[in-house]
Amino acid sequence: MAVELVKTTERTYPIYLEQDFSRLPKAMEEAGLTGRTVCIITDSNVDGLYGAQVQEALAPVSKKVHKIFFPAGEMQKNLGSIRHFYEAFFQAGLDRKSVIVALGGGVTGDMAGFAAATFLRGIAFVQIPTTLLAQVDSSVGGKVGVDFDGHKNAVGAFYQPHFVYINAKTLRTLPKREFSAGMAEVIKYGPIWDMDFFSQLEEKKEALLALEEETLLSVIGRCCAIKAEVVGQDEKESGLREILNFGHTIGHAIETASRFSLLHGECVGLGMIAIGSLCEKRGTVEQGFTKRLSQLLEAFSLPLTVSGLTVEEIDRQMAFDKKVKNGAIGFVLLSSAGVPLRTTCVTEEERKEAIAFVLAQ
């Protein structure tokens, strides 16, 4: 079993990289979580695929294993769902020693983590991410929360899990489009941290597309290691952690302006291309960098342009996001390929040119 470690002030915890659920009992044992009442939280899609398997795997090492699910989708990521969870926790007789298990994508992980962080002032929780995005990003680092009145992730906490258990085989049932969207977040780690990793992705793209488990696990493992390193240095996002938002400033504006017809990862891919073009123009990355980035994104069927939107619409959305955050628009640029640069110094002209670069003619 390959393991990555996340070191935070709350605790140091392992990320298990596996091809099935067979080592889940051992992981519970190592975390000191056996003999407890467990409540699995999952969504309506994942429940039918893996709910029973995970419940069975946990039963021998637990006092009792309950399972609750909610209708899949970001729409459900709100306080109403959390309220239902609390009600179910009381009905199931959960106490301070109980364990919450998040089984699903980022929506499930963020909500189950938030419920765990707040129920009885915090009970143990475990992440079993089943989307690529959740495996390489959201399940690691302890950001949990819900959306509120249209404000994304506006209510939440930093709350670390006891461990993260990744079963790469779960990606076999993930819709192709969701897998591709997750690949955008995988690719992101190249420009901000490790261009050798980026080259490996270029070499291994066929194996990744074929969902070859060994390749998947090594790639997911590298992403987790980078995220763990970044989170370890800046747990509460007061600085360095912002580099994980590479491609996200413009990406998020496109996501909102497109009224969520594009997936988050698809927009992050577009945002990265836009920033790539800006950096190329500034001369901080070599000519052809953006083309190389676009080719890799395209290999995973990610869009290189977006249609039906104007520069002004996207720019206005960015200004609105800025107002909500009460400051200047923060960007993650590249001071060279593989080295991020956090800055608010981007001119309006640069910004608009970068956006225009990803708009379909």
Ligand X SMILES: NC(=O)c1ccc[n+]([C@@H]2O[C@H](COP(=O)([O-])OP(=O)(O)OC[C@H]3O[C@@H](n4cnc5c(N)ncnc54)[C@H](O)[C@@H]3O)[C@@H](O)[C@H]2O)c1
DSSP state letters, 167-183: EGGGGGGS-HHHHHHHH
Q: In the range 243-272, which residues lie near ligand X by CB under 6 A?
A: none
Q: Which of 2, 1, 12, 18 has its CA nearest to residue 161?
A: 12
The least CB distance from residue 79 to ligand X, in Å, is 14
Our answer to whether residue 18 is catalytic in this structure is no
Q: Which range of residues in 19-27, 125-133, 218-226, 268-276 is near ligand X by CB under 6 A? A: 125-133
Asked if residues 210 and 232 have their Cβ atoms less than 8 Å apart, the reply is: no
Taking each helix axis from N to C terminus, what angle separates 264-282 and 248-257, rounded to the nearest 10 degrees? 130
Amino acid at site 216: L
Our answer to whether residue 185 is catalytic in this structure is yes
Our answer to whether residue 264 is catalytic in this structure is yes
Q: Is 10 helix (H, G, I), strand (E, B) or coil?
A: coil
- Give the nearer residue to ligand X in terms of CB position, either 136 or 279: 136
- Strand ranges (DSSP E) for 134-214? 143-148, 151-158, 164-167
Our answer to whether residue 252 is catalytic in this structure is yes
Q: Is 154 helix (H, G, I), strand (E, B) or coil?
A: strand
Asked if residues 102 and 148 have their Cβ atoms less than 8 Å apart, the reply is: no
The least CB distance from residue 90 to ligand X, in Å, is 25
CA distance 75 to 342: 31
The least CB distance from residue 179 to ligand X, in Å, is 9
The least CB distance from residue 284 to ligand X, in Å, is 26
Our answer to whether residue 143 is catalytic in this structure is yes
Q: In the range 66-105, which residues lie near ligand X by CB under 6 A?
A: 72-74, 77, 104-105
- Per-residue binding string, ligand X, 126-155, x by CB under 6 A, is ----xx-xx--xx--x-x---------x--
Amino acid at site 7: K
Q: Which residues bind ligand X (CB under 6 A)?
A: 43, 45-46, 49, 72-74, 77, 104-108, 110, 130-131, 133-134, 137-138, 141, 143, 153, 170, 173-174, 178
Active site residues: 121, 143, 185, 227, 237, 241, 245, 248, 252, 264
